Chain A
């Protein structure tokens, strides 16, 4: 953990990375449990994706959150705010102790991310479907400014129901933003149920391909596989890349896994205790 304190992330061993992921899961459970509301399912499913990004892939300086050359991470599925907050705190953007103020009156940790309040949050989110357009803008600005930063944006699969996602997908390919990488947390569930029952996305990878994106599919809980995917898309030129990460909603807590009811429901005290025990 000293390495984390020093901001030297890329040298973390695979074991360290797993430890980080588990810590993030524990934070998510404790934060949402204490708040009494929030979205555990879609926060837990993206833990490895965000761990790989912040502790391996992204070029960033927690003590200099506005560093112009930083890689950008845009959380489009803003209801996974607890995951982003926990990650930023673990990286040293703000004190870990603050995490337990989530959703409380006067806390900086709003239910959905507010970029005016927290260092390291690039985008105000909460209404789904808007992050990819924003990320295209940030990517275009990087090109205009001759910067070599890269832009990463995390989408939910249900979020891809929104037409704006596909407008942005078309624009990103049209503008050849090869400094842009979208990651879809493909846990198969949205709010009312399974994607295939609510609004069928299939064939999903083919859609992205047809829109002109370099498309990679990975196991979204395999840190090494994610790492390799992020590395692979780095060399793609002339088109944006999307990593479709197959995940399990509620991953890591047995009674939350694949349970749509834990999309937007906080665990009660007993459930928090049980979950934390599983995550020891």
Chain B
């Protein structure tokens, strides 16, 4: 396996780099700067860093005011708290006026591990994905994290970037060209397509390798921009491979799977399977144990591919 790199640390360091080039970048946190790694920015630019304490609603409101006044705020905490703790502040103060607020959250999904249900964000993509005008990105590794954060800083408008707690294997080289709103083809294939985000991208590649050996030619797409979603790539995959499996560290409801279903139902209906958490809250445990328990693994994807392929016309 390739080297494991922290997405959070990459985020923290990328912020510093951006901050050096753009004096309008300001950073807010809600008493988690050591975990979200915004502390790097805080030490280099103490005057442009605001720790708002344990007050996420207030943090989002302050970010909106800063954005309205020409600053580019990056506000960070855990994914459970934004949007969980302050959905209406995100909706009313950021999404509706369309302010240039960048919400970059960490500890998304169940891989946060032992802290348990209260800290496992499995609904955030549904909530944020429902807000008109938001761009939503779930990077697959550290390289893509840096690219996504820079892309957010180069565009105007509200962004939500969701990172996880664990270090992840690199799936991209330094030459990776991130394109906002475009799926990245990780592997070509003709029999079936796996569309994955975040931590599930490397699992999808592993599953595709195994399936290859069994004669199943699996395409793998990294749909890191969840919104606006790359409809073209989904329709093409549906047309050319005739079956799709989605894989995400989120509830089956309202995340990547729902989006792919929405697009295919309208343009190119094909059999689908969803690797996701099934309408339940998870538990405390090690990240690897939890991912296994809830089927968010290469095994889970492999099984989903087998069952979707049977349903192909």
Q: Which residues of A contact B (CB under 8 A)?
A: 35-38, 78, 103-107, 109-112, 114, 124-129, 158-159, 161-163, 190-192, 198-199
- B283 interface residue (CB < 8 Å to A): yes
- B268 interface residue (CB < 8 Å to A): no
Residues A111 and B55 in contact, CB atoms below 8 Å apart: no
A111 CB to closest chain B CB, in angstroms?
4
Q: CA–CA, A199 to B85, complex, Å? A: 18
Closest residue of A by beta carbon distance from B33: A192
Contact stretch, chosen from B8-16, B116-124, B203-211: B116-124
Residues B118 and A37 in contact, CB atoms below 8 Å apart: no
Residues of B contacting A109 in the complex (Cβ-Cβ under 8 angstroms): 284
Q: CA–CA, A129 to B116, complex, Å? A: 18
How many CB-defined contacts (below 8 Å) exist between A and B?
A: 94
A-B contact pairs, 5 of them (CB 8 A): A36-B114, A106-B285, A109-B284, A192-B34, A199-B51
With A104-B285, A161-B54 known as contacts, the answer to whether A192 contacts B116 (CB < 8 A) is: no
Q: Pick the contact of A125 from B53, B118, B289, B293 — CB < 8 Å?
A: B118
Residues B33 and A163 in contact, CB atoms below 8 Å apart: no
Closest residue of B by beta carbon distance from A197: B51
Q: CA–CA, A104 to B285, complex, Å? A: 5
Q: CA–CA, A252 to B264, complex, Å? A: 60
Residues B115 and A192 in contact, CB atoms below 8 Å apart: no
Residues B119 and A111 in contact, CB atoms below 8 Å apart: yes
Q: CA–CA, A35 to B115, complex, Å? A: 11
Residues of B contacting A37 in the complex (Cβ-Cβ under 8 angstroms): 113-115
Q: CA–CA, A172 to B55, complex, Å? A: 20
What is the interface size of chain B, counting residues whose CB is below 8 A from a CB of the partner? 32
- B81 interface residue (CB < 8 Å to A): yes
- B290 interface residue (CB < 8 Å to A): yes
With A158-B53, A199-B53, A199-B55 known as contacts, the answer to whether A126 contacts B119 (CB < 8 A) is: yes
Q: Which of B55-111 contact A (CB under 8 A)?
A: 55, 57-58, 80-81, 84-85
Q: CA–CA, A198 to B52, complex, Å? A: 7
Q: CA–CA, A259 to B29, complex, Å? A: 21
Residues of A contacting B33 in the complex (Cβ-Cβ under 8 angstroms): 192
Closest residue of A by beta carbon distance from B34: A192
Closest residue of A by beta carbon distance from B56: A162
Residues B54 and A190 in contact, CB atoms below 8 Å apart: yes
Q: Pick the contact of B284 from A107, A129, A163 — CB < 8 Å?
A: A107
Contact with A along B6-49 (1 / 0, CB 8 A): 00000000000000000000000101111100010000000000
Closest residue of A by beta carbon distance from B84: A127
Residues A198 and B284 in contact, CB atoms below 8 Å apart: no
